[in-house]
Chain A
Amino acid sequence: MWRPLIPMSMQGGQDYKEASLLGSICRICQRIYFPFQPVCFACYSDEAVEPINLGRRGRLVKYTVATVAPAGFEPPHIQGFVELPGGVRVFSLLYGNNLKEGMEMELVPEVRGQEEDGTLLVCFRFKPLEVSR
């Protein structure tokens, strides 16, 4: 059993490793938000918003490498923004030594904690997409 560490941010079947990102879409203006945003910022509507699967891939927009990290994380602390299909930009920690802006990225779901009953708390990072030959 697993659940997303950030409420309404990921969805999937039994294997958390196969999970994908969950967001919301406003059916009036088609804006997409991540994570799930219950009221559209542009339309001020709480009725036209639906969940949407945002998949597992995106494009690296920008990133930066810090030599120090907040508590619970190890340097290098690589932060960046990944643009998902539909245009929504997701803040994420990243893996990779040779990151380049514009490169294709894929989701890496990872366990960040555990509840008392054993339920895994799952968050994510992105890493460069590995192209199979």
Chain B
Amino acid sequence: MRDVYVAGVGMTRFGKFLDKTLKDLAREAVWEAIRDAEIDPRKIAVAYAANSYAGLITGQETVRGQTLLRACGITKIPVINVENACASGSTAFNQAWLAVASGLYDVALALGVEKLYCGDLGKSLHALSTSSDVEIEGKMGIFFPGIYALRVKEHMAKYGITKEQLARVAVKNHFNGSLNPRAQYRNTVTVEEVLTSRVIVDPITLLMTAPIGDGAAAAILVGGEAVKNLRKPKVKVLATCLVSNDPLVEEEGREPTVTRAARAAFEAASVDPKDVGVVELHDVVAPVEMLLWEQTLICPPGESGKWVDEGVVELTGRVASNTSGGLCAKGHPAAATGLAQVAEIVWQLRGEAGQRQVQHKPLVGMVENGGGNVANDTAAVAIHLLGR
């Protein structure tokens, strides 16, 4: 496999944009990535277009990538339509890496775009509910925040994590989001406000949850000859690993699916988890972030509470976590999320993250992005390790 670099990234602000179409959002992110990479768009040789819910929301069930990229002026090249629920963006990134690493193409585009505000909340919620086995859990009335709440409750019981510690993760993410001009929510919140906001599903309160939203993000990956022309500081894809649900995950001796992906990524990259200095994690409810520090191997088992207390995960800490604000404050337009996470890590590694720049100048950053739920496990999990 060849070395692959992220040459450029782009991202719209996340939010509620009733006046913008999927095409508008895609064009904004793609052209920002093109300009960021300072690359001739004619050199893009393949595109991976991620979108999860427009089939149900607009009716554009097929060839979504071709219709969106045409609006960006990109035609003729192979377009692969990618869907893996909330991990679609990361899946597109993973496949774009493969296309370049294999040597088949020198320049690949990965796009993730979603528009969940359509003026009909019921329609949006129905679309989101299809990210499980609709013949089994769907019919049984599965409610995703409840599944996350169960994981958080178990984690709390196992290690004596307090509700205040859970709340402080949400406070941190909202603070980071307040410094991010592209975040959906830019207000700060207090521990008390988080704990007294409406209980959605115990122990998760409203201010710990990610909103639905609209947005797009894109990355341009390069290898071979195309690497020579890069002008921005180089960000290398050290590893990207994509796995699916493990039906026997609860059996003794099995690792959580996130850990299986992380271990594979760290081995492929020959990187020690201790070297990771900035992470973007799939905090669809903020407290899950604590579990994810441990499951991705960057935090010893049971020490996530200590990490909160000691500020390890703040912008000033050793392992700054969800510097963008995370899903909880930056927003979560499903298929855009994975590539927005990549964009944030690229900006942090280049030192371009503005007010929310991690102070210790990290050398390695990590993305963890999960999507869907099949038979009680996350359907798709991606881990990317990026380095400078």
Contact = CB atoms under 8 A, between A and B. Distances in A.
B139 A5 contact: yes
A123 to B, nearest CB: 7
Interface string B204-225: 0000000000000000000000
Interface string B184-214: 0000000000000011111000000000000
A103 interface: no
Interface string B102-135: 0000000000000000000010011001000001
A64 B125 contact: no
A19 to B, nearest CB: 15
A33 B376 CA distance: 13
A123 B138 CA distance: 12
A69 B141 contact: yes
A79 B199 contact: no
A42 interface: yes
Contacts of B135: 6-7
Interface in A85-99: 89, 91-93
A13 interface: no
A41 B126 CA distance: 30
Given A72-B141, A93-B141, A62 B150 contact: yes
A70 B198 contact: no
Interface string A21-40: 00000000001010101000
Contact of A70 (B141, B149, B247): B141
Given A6-B139, A89-B250, A64 B150 contact: yes
Contacts, number: 78
Nearest to A69: B143
Interface string A64-75: 111111111100
Given A7-B135, A65-B201, A71 B126 contact: yes
Interface residues of A, number: 32
B248 A66 contact: no
Nearest to A113: B139
B154 interface: yes
Contacts of A65: 201-202
A64 B203 CA distance: 9
A56 interface: no
Interface string B135-177: 1110111110111011001100000000000000000000000
Given A77-B143, A79-B142, A67 B199 contact: yes
Contacts of A91: 137, 140, 142, 376
A103 B122 CA distance: 36
Contacts of B198: 67
Nearest to A78: B146
A83 B41 CA distance: 56
Contacts of B200: 66-68
B150 A79 contact: yes
Nearest to B199: A67
A91 B376 CA distance: 8
A130 B136 CA distance: 28
A92 B153 contact: no
Nearest to A41: B247
B140 A66 contact: no
Contacts of A37: 247
Nearest to A5: B139
A91 B143 CA distance: 11
B326 to A, nearest CB: 22
Contacts of A31: 248
Contacts of B141: 69-70, 72-73, 77, 79, 93
A64 B248 contact: no
A70 B146 CA distance: 11
A133 B147 CA distance: 36
A41 to B, nearest CB: 4
A71 B130 CA distance: 12
A6 B136 contact: yes
A67 B149 CA distance: 12
Given A64-B149, A66-B143, A66-B200, 18 more contacts: A6-B135, A6-B140, A33-B247, A41-B247, A42-B248, A62-B154, A64-B201, A66-B146, A66-B149, A69-B141, A71-B122, A71-B126, A77-B201, A79-B150, A91-B137, A91-B140, A91-B142, A112-B139
6 contacts: A66-B200, A71-B122, A73-B141, A77-B146, A79-B147, A92-B140
